[in-house]
A = this chain, B = another copy of it.
Amino acid sequence: MIDKTVKSAEDAVADIQDGVTLMMGGFGLSGIPENCIAALLKKQIRNLTIVSNNAGVDDFGIGLFLKQGMVKKMISSYVGENEEFERQLLQGELEVELIPQGTLAERIRAGGAGIPAFFTPAGVGTEVAEGKEIREFNGKLYLLEHALHADFALVKAWKGDTAGNLIFKGTARNFNPMMAAAGKITIAEVEELVPVGSLDPNLIHTPGIYIQRIFQGDRYEKRIEQRTVSV
C-alpha cells in the first residue's frame, strides 16, 4: 500500500514558500486545518494567495495570517467576522476577490475535476458578472466561470488512513473534499490517523488519490464562533 504519512505539520508544510496559492478548508472556524495553520505561522512566509470560504476571526484561523501580514490576496465568499481583515482591505494592504459561495465551491470542484469552465446563474445582473461571458440556456441567463487551482490544498478530516482516504465529521466537511482534489499537492491533517483497512471503503468521503501527505494533528481547539444553546 502507498503510505503518505509525514511525521508532523512542520514536515508537511516544509516546502510551502512565499507567493504560493493555498486552498484552506473550513466554513467559519469549523473544519479548518489548525495544525497546518500553526506550522505555517512559524514559517513566516509572505505574499500568499488564499482560497478559503471565510477569513477566520481576528485571533484564530486565517485571521492569524492576516495579523502577521502573510496574505497578499483572499479569495472568499464571506469575510464578515474579521476586523483586521476589514482594516487591511480599506487601507489597500490586501486584495480581495469575493465570489458567491456556490460558485466558489463549484469552481474548486471544477479545478479538481478537469473542467476548465462552466455556466452558473449566480451573479447575473450583479457586479459579479462584470467582464464575464453571459449566455442564455432555456430562457435563463448564466455566467461563464472558470476552474480554481492551488499549489497546495490544506484540508482537515476526522479520520484518515495512511493511504490518504478521508472521512469528515458533520458540517466540518464543507469545502474540504473539493479542495483536496484541486490542490497540486494536498496535505490532509486528521484527528485520528488509522492503518489501511480500518475505514469502510464504501463510506470514504475523499479517496486517497487526492492526498499527497497526511498526518495526525494534535490539540484541536475547534473554537466556536456562535455558541448558541437552547434552554
A131 within 8 A of B: no
**Docked-complex contact A137 and B116, CB < 8 angstroms:** yes
User: How far is the CB of A163 from the nearest CB of chain B, in Å?
Assistant: 18
| Chain A window 3-15, contacts with chain B (Cβ cutoff 8 Å), 1 for yes, 0 for no | 0000000000000
**Docked-complex contact B115 and A118, CB < 8 angstroms:** yes
**Docked-complex contact A116 and B115, CB < 8 angstroms:** no
Closest B residue to A113 by beta carbon equals: B106
**Docked-complex contact B118 and A170, CB < 8 angstroms:** no
User: How far is the CB of A148 from the nearest CB of chain B, in Å?
Assistant: 13
A202 within 8 A of B: yes
Given A106-B115, A115-B106; A170-B120 close (CB under 8 Å): no
**Docked-complex contact B118 and A117, CB < 8 angstroms:** yes
Closest B residue to A106 by beta carbon equals: B115
User: How far is the CB of A125 from the nearest CB of chain B, in Å?
Assistant: 17
CA distance A227 to B217 in the complex (A): 44
Sample of 13 A–B contacts (CB below 8 Å) = A106-B113, A114-B121, A115-B118, A115-B120, A116-B119, A116-B138, A116-B142, A117-B119, A117-B135, A117-B142, A167-B202, A170-B202, A203-B203
Known A116-B119, A117-B118, A137-B146; 12 more pairs at CB < 8 Å: A106-B113, A106-B115, A114-B120, A114-B121, A116-B137, A116-B138, A117-B119, A117-B135, A117-B137, A118-B118, A167-B202, A168-B202
Binding site for B on A (CB under 8 A): 106, 110, 113-121, 135, 137-138, 140, 142, 146, 167-170, 202-203
The 10 closest A-B pairs by CB, nearest first: A116-B137, A118-B118, A203-B203, A117-B119, A116-B119, A115-B118, A116-B142, A169-B202, A115-B120, A115-B119
